[in-house]
Chains A and B, each alone.
Chain A
Amino acid sequence: MAKHETPLLDQLESGPWPSFVTDLKRQAETKPECWDILGQLELSYKERITHWKHGGIVGVFGYGGGIVGRYSDLPKRFPGVEHFHTVRVAQPASKYYSSKNLRQLMDLWEKYGSGMTNFHGSTGDIILLGTRTENLEPFFWDLTHDMGQDLGGSGSNLRTPANCIGQSRCEWSCYDTEECCHSLTLKYQDEIHRPAFPYKFKFKFSGCPNDCVAAIARSDIAVIGTWRDEIRIDQAAVKEYIAGNYPSNGGAHSGRDWGKFSIEKEVVDLCPTQCMWMEGGELKIDNTECTRCMHCINVMPRALRPGVDTGASICVGAKAPILDGAQFATLIVPFMKMSADNEFEELVEFIEKVWDWWMEIGKNRERVGETMQRLGLPHFLKVMEIEPIPQHVKEPRSNPYVFWREEEVEGGFERNVEEFRARHAA
């Protein structure tokens, strides 16, 4: 039986799509606190103001992240949501769950929480919504001791790193995203569990430029697989596509009749750098112009494959629009070899250089992308000891001045003023 009248929320159940209101009502049959979520939300819809308070508690003892405190500002009226903390749980690499693991998690959350979940938050980890302060420690004990699973990151910490399925299932993966994500997660345990930075910091690992974890849009350091040799072409398979014997895009768009496959219209003409053409029945690519956008490979996976000299591009500074506007990450290193044999040494060195700089220069609540924007890319490149290259240039210059650093000027900036004054009186 509903505890509160919720006419505004009930209206949301009338559409053809699944409704969180229906889900919450069902959940409330066994978890009565869910009636109070509905009641409080109905009130917020009426009054057009939130009744949630953020903040306060941060975690279990010794951890500075993983729990986001949430309280109702009307605890007397809605006692079920007096405390309604969010718990972040680290997801397995590539989100490979066993059904056993999922059942254990659900049992644990039935026991200590509201049963409400969000698989997954935009960071990539598991979000468990709604528990009380006194349940946090017992929940954490069971999670770590019985399940060997850990909390994720929140606050000014390194957030739970995330990766695409990589080489475990995807033939396009240009490096081992799982190994890389896992080993850096272990290496930076302290940064994940305890605040370390002016604001949040995220890593994400995609095996190829399809970027299935949207690293370029969502992470402070995006590690995106790429190759520096040539796209591998199987000309016989190209002919099969042209003849219509192989479905384009691996059959992904086969639900509808798009007409006969045209390699000109669907591949060559859509290449963003116009570096492809047909010659004597063969597909040609000028690889020096190719930006590795993946389009042609996605359309004809049986004919085209990434090259074999593989590694990753490193981009820095993406963020969501919370403070300033949203922005993509900026390309900093076009190609870096990625190897588990040296524990991703080059990447680790890069990451720590970024941190050392940002921890010192970054303002409170400033994402590294905003610090870069504030001080300019040339400044950032200098800090990173990286020579500017054409790939760093996004657009024609909009600043007419050229600034020289002293070491770039023959003879430096020092001069003998007396000698100058002898010729030009002040």
Chain B
Amino acid sequence: MALSKDELKAAILEKAEKSPKAQLYIKDFYACDPETKPRDMKNVANDLVKEGKLMFWSSGSTTMYALKSRIKNEEGAEGI
């Protein structure tokens, strides 16, 4: 059984909290629930951004996700 939307959100936030890297690729979240399709996972992660719980972080050509609290300043780069 695939996780419910709320369970997915919790799992994503936990991953964003605990992962050694502050910025995560959308693919890093797939592991939260192998049964959820990539497009659904992306929609849930983007919902979390709309709710203000995650933020987008971009290298210019690649976009990643991060917890606001883990990004030190708006440049935010942790060596990417």
| Dominant secondary structure at the A interface | loop
Instruction: Please indicate the chain B residues that have their CB under 8 angstroms from the CB of A199 in the complex.
Output: 61-62
Segment at the B interface, from A3-11, A153-161, A285-293: A153-161
In the complex, the chain B residue whose C-beta lies closest to that of A197 is B26
A386 to chain B, nearest CB (A): 21
A53–B26 touching, CB < 8 Å:
no
Contact A156 to B63, CB < 8 A, known contacts A59-B56, A69-B58: yes
A200–B61 touching, CB < 8 Å:
yes
A406 to chain B, nearest CB (A): 25
Instruction: Please indicate the chain B residues that have their CB under 8 angstroms from the CB of A197 in the complex.
Output: 26
B77–A64 touching, CB < 8 Å:
no
Contact A62 to B49, CB < 8 A, known contacts A195-B63, A196-B42: yes
Does B6 belong to the interface (CB within 8 Å)? Answer: no
Question: When the two chains form the complex, which single residue of A133, A155, A364 contacts B58, counting CB atoms closer than 8 Å?
Answer: A155
B26–A55 touching, CB < 8 Å:
no
Q: Mark A55-85, 1 if CB is under 8 A from B, else 0.
A: 1111100101100111100000000000000
B61–A71 touching, CB < 8 Å:
no
Question: When the two chains form the complex, which single residue of A57, A155, A190 contacts B61, counting CB atoms closer than 8 Å?
Answer: A155
Q: Measured between alpha carbons, how far is A65 from B60 in the docked complex, in Å?
A: 9
Question: When the two chains form the complex, which single residue of A58, A68, A365 contacts B56, counting CB atoms closer than 8 Å?
Answer: A58
Q: Measured between alpha carbons, how far is A25 from B42 in the docked complex, in Å?
A: 45
Instruction: Please indicate the chain B residues that have their CB under 8 angstroms from the CB of A142 in the complex.
Output: none
B80–A55 touching, CB < 8 Å:
yes
Instruction: Please indicate the chain B residues that have their CB under 8 angstroms from the CB of A194 in the complex.
Output: 42, 46, 49, 56
Q: Mark B38-49, 1 if CB is under 8 A from A, else 0.
A: 110011001001
Q: Measured between alpha carbons, how far is A53 from B76 in the docked complex, in Å?
A: 11
Give the size category of A's interface with B.
Answer: 35 or more
B62–A364 touching, CB < 8 Å:
yes
Q: Measured between alpha carbons, how far is A154 from B56 in the docked complex, in Å?
A: 12
A62–B25 touching, CB < 8 Å:
no
Instruction: Please indicate the chain B residues that have their CB under 8 angstroms from the CB of A54 in the complex.
Output: 59-60
In the complex, the chain B residue whose C-beta lies closest to that of A86 is B60
Q: Mark B4-44, 1 if CB is under 8 A from A, else 0.
A: 00000000000000000000011100100000011100110
Instruction: Please indicate the chain A residues that have their CB under 8 angstroms from the CB of B80 in the complex.
Output: 55
Q: Mark A200-242, 1 if CB is under 8 A from B, else 0.
A: 1000000000000000000000000000000000000000000
A156–B75 touching, CB < 8 Å:
no
Instruction: Please indicate the chain A residues that have their CB under 8 angstroms from the CB of B26 in the complex.
Output: 156, 195-198
Q: Measured between alpha carbons, how far is A359 from B40 in the docked complex, in Å?
A: 11
Does A139 belong to the interface (CB within 8 Å)? Answer: no
Question: When the two chains form the complex, which single residue of B38, B42, B49, B59 contacts A55, counting CB atoms closer than 8 Å?
Answer: B59
Contact A69 to B38, CB < 8 A, known contacts A55-B80, A64-B46, A133-B74: no
In the complex, the chain A residue whose C-beta lies closest to that of B24 is A364
Instruction: Please indicate the chain B residues that have their CB under 8 angstroms from the CB of A58 in the complex.
Output: 56-58, 63
Q: Measured between alpha carbons, how far is A355 from B60 in the docked complex, in Å?
A: 21
Question: When the two chains form the complex, which single residue of A55, A65, A68 contacts B75, counting CB atoms closer than 8 Å?
Answer: A55
Q: A54-B60, A55-B57, A155-B60 are in contact. List 6 more A-B contacts (CB 8 A).
A: A55-B59, A55-B60, A58-B56, A69-B74, A154-B61, A356-B39
Contacts A/B (CB < 8 Å), 18 sampled? A55-B76, A55-B80, A56-B74, A56-B75, A57-B58, A58-B58, A64-B56, A65-B63, A68-B60, A154-B61, A155-B62, A190-B43, A190-B46, A195-B42, A195-B56, A197-B26, A199-B61, A363-B27
A-binding residues in B (CB < 8 A): 25-27, 30, 37-39, 42-43, 46, 49-50, 56-63, 74-77, 80
